[in-house]
Amino acid sequence: MPYRYQIHPDPGLLVMRYVGHTTMQDQRDLVTDVTSDPDWRFGLPMFLDSSQMTGTDITVLSLISLRDRFRPLFTQVDQPVLWAQYAPNDLAFGMSRMTQEIMDEIPTVNMEVFTDLSSAVTFLGVEGEVHGLLESIGIAASDLSHGHAPVTLRRL
């Protein structure tokens, strides 16, 4: 399975990780698994670690299709859904920026792309519980680093 996830009801966070070659079908399977989990509730802040992704067949068109499928759900939440994407390498960063640009069209999605783990965790506001949350999907506390700002794309 090229992905892992863990839902943490307290503090209320969805933590996901892609590992290896990740396909669009893997992304669909992840969404199905997460949304059928008994701890799932729409609007949870999301942390997605793309650092271990080695390849993908995910395209712009498939991301647009996924966004359009979830647009009605995202517009039902009362406050913006925080989505931190950890993308420290070129492949992950490129895919994450493309996803961010596409998801930016939904006003209730607040997605940011980070090249360092510490900034991603700070963005989500879960610093106090970070080690246990990240270790639940195989990210060691020693992976935390400091000093980089989020990458934010804005429409002109």
C-alpha distances (whole Å) from 22 to each of 66, 88, 92 are 15, 16, 11
Residues of the chain with pLDDT > 70, as a percent, come to: 80
pLDDT at res. 99: 93
What pTM, to 2 d.p., does this model score? 0.81
Choice among 22-31, 85-94, 113-122, 147-156 with the minimum mean pLDDT: 147-156
Residue 144 pLDDT > 70: no
The answer to whether the CB of 26 falls within 8 A of the CB of 60 is no
- Domain coordinates of the chain in residue numbers? 3-143
What kind of fold does domain 3-143 have according to CATH? Answer: Transcription Regulator spoIIAA (3.30.750)
Task: Report the range of poorest mean pLDDT among 34-48, 78-92, 135-149.
Answer: 135-149
